[in-house]
């Protein structure tokens, strides 16, 4: 090193000088290292704490949104169930009253039959006859006399029970209707119990979602599924987008006959742009229809008064009907254009007029295109139902993802802060290791001076 070997005294003198300089500069370099490493570690840890707090705030906001959305959904569900029960209450009351009346009638008839049975009493003469016959037979073992006595008993009992046969038949006829009416009443009771159980479960969840305690709201919100309904709605939306592409290819070609095909809009052919505009208008009409009907709440239409909502509802229905008629006309025009292209192709190939077929009438292809043209606008309107779930749950999922990203970044920054602090401590220990001999001498001097200092302090 510097042209010196380990056996040269100049190298050892240089090392000693460097150690002395490092010892002299120890307080300053320690402060510098602490400021760099510990300062950066403090900054990173503060950033980690702020990210963690922000992530927790995002998660709390997510819990509040999910709880509020769930409470609002359950409130509307319970209101609809209440209205349904109110509509069905007269019917249930009428059915139950009819069954109860029939049961009361059957009960009265059964009471009358029971009283008739209770009135059965063999007269004293019959009993005496039976007893006399049995007494005679006790002294006579004649088989004919015993048979005669049994016959007399049977005839006497039969004569007494003959008036009760109508009551017995009535009892048999009433047992089956009673069982049927009891089964109907039991089914009504089971249905009402099932409805009450669902309402109670929804009410418990609703109370948990609006509970003043955050932990209760969080527990209720965490039980709600967000991802699965979003995936199902996304699947339905994908099917709806397939219908959109099908609709686009059905109307794109005949739109050229209406708007022309010699212009472009932002690099897009005018027929293509016109077809996209038509599909967009159909989607808007479908969203307005579903919001005005109260099925979805994508826009602010659901908050309007009753009369404007009715007007928008009828207007959306009229627009969708007009679009269906318009697309049906375009389907007919598309079939005509296809036939013209086919005839032009045959003429270009020289097949002549004898190869052409009679194209008069309506073909099955045209009927299929007209049916699709009529149905697709209404199917696009129905696609607005899963669109609401896709939008709302996508917002919830974004908040969850943002929360996880913030927590992950907080973990990264906290890990970096810990690494920097550990690295700073390692540098300080290595620095002290390089100057361990002056530090040992300093410690020895301090231990020697400590008793003298204590004596001086005691004398003072």
Tokens describing residue 58: 């995002």
pLDDT per position as a tens digit, 138-157:
545 555 555 665 566 666 66
Cα distances (angstroms) measured from residue 403 to each of 53, 407, 458: 10, 6, 63
The domain limits of the chain are 225-382
Q: What is the pLDDT of residues 325-368, one digit of tens each?
A: 888 887 777 777 767 666 777 676 665 544 444 444 556 777 77
Give yes or no for a contact between 205 and 70, defined as CB atoms under 8 angstroms apart: yes
Partnered with residue 264 across adjacent β-strands are 269
Round the CA-based radius of gyration of the chain to a whole number and report it. Answer: 49
Please tell me the distance from the alpha carbon of residue 37 to that of residue 430, in angstroms, as a whole number.
14
Q: Residue 458's pLDDT is what? A: 62
> How much is the pTM?
0.63
Over residues 27-72, the pLDDT tens digits come to 888 888 888 888 899 999 999 999 999 999 999 999 888 888 888 8
> What percentage of the chain's residues is helix, strand, coil (to nearest 5)?
85, 0, 10
Judge whether 39 and 412 are in contact, CB under 8 Å.
no
Q: 401 or 257: which carries more pLDDT confidence?
A: 401
| 210: DSSP letter | T
- Check: CB of residue 283 under 8 Å from CB of residue 380: yes
- Note the pLDDT of residue 105: 59
**pLDDT above 70 covers what percent of the chain?**
68
């Amino acid at each position: 090193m510097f042209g010196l070997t380990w056996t040269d005294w100049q190298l050892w003198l240089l090392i000693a000088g460097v150690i002395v300089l490092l010892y002299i500069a120890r307080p300053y370099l320690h402060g510098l290292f602490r400021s760099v490493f510990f300062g950066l570690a403090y900054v990173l840890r503060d950033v980690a704490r702020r990210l963690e707090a922000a992530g927790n705030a995002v998660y709390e906001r997510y819990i509040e949104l999910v709880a509020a959305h769930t409470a609002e959904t359950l409130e509307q569900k319970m209101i609809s169930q209440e209205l349904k029960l109110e509509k069905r209450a007269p019917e249930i009351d009428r059915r139950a009253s009819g069954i109860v009346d029939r049961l009361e009638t059957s009960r009265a008839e059964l009471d009358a039959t029971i009283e008739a049975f209770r009135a059965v009493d063999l007269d004293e003469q019959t009993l005496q006859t039976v007893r006399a016959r049995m007494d005679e037979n006790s002294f006579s073992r004649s088989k004919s006399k015993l048979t005669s006595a049994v016959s007399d008993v049977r005839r006497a009992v039969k004569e007494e029970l003959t008036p009760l046969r109508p009551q017995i038949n009535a009892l048999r006829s009433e047992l089956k209707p009673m069982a049927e009416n009891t089964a109907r009443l039991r089914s009504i009771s089971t249905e009402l119990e099932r409805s009450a159980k669902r309402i109670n479960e929804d009410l418990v969840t609703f109370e948990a979602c609006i509970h003043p305690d955050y932990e209760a709201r969080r527990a209720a919100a965490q039980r709600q599924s967000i991802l699965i309904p979003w995936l199902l709605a996304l699947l339905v939306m994908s099917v709806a987008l397939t219908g959109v592409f099908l609709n686009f290819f059905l109307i794109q070609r005949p739109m050229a006959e209406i708007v022309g095909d010699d212009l472009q809009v932002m690099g897009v052919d005018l027929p293509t742009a016109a077809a996209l505009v038509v599909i967009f208008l159909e989607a808007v009409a479908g969203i307005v229809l579903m919001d005005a009907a109260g099925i979805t709440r994508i826009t602010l239409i659901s908050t309007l008064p009753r009369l404007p909502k009715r007007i928008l509802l009828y207007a959306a229905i009229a627009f969708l009907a007009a679009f269906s008629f318009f697309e049906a006309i375009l389907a007919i025009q598309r079939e005509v254009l296809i036939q013209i292209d086919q005839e032009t192709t045959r003429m270009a190939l020289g097949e002549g007029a004898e190869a052409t077929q009679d194209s008069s009438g309506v073909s099955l292809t045209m009927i299929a295109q007209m049916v699709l043209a009529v149905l697709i606008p209404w199917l696009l309107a129905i696609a607005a139902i899963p669109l609401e779930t896709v939008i709302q749950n996508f917002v919830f999922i974004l908040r969850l993802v943002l929360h996880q990203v913030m927590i992950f970044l907080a973990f990264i920054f906290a890990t970096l802060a810990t690494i920097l602090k550990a690295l700073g401590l390692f540098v300080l220990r290595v620095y002290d290791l390089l100057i361990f001999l002056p530090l040992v001498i300093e410690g020895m001097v301090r231990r020697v001076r400590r008793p003298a200092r204590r004596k001086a302090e005691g004398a003072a």
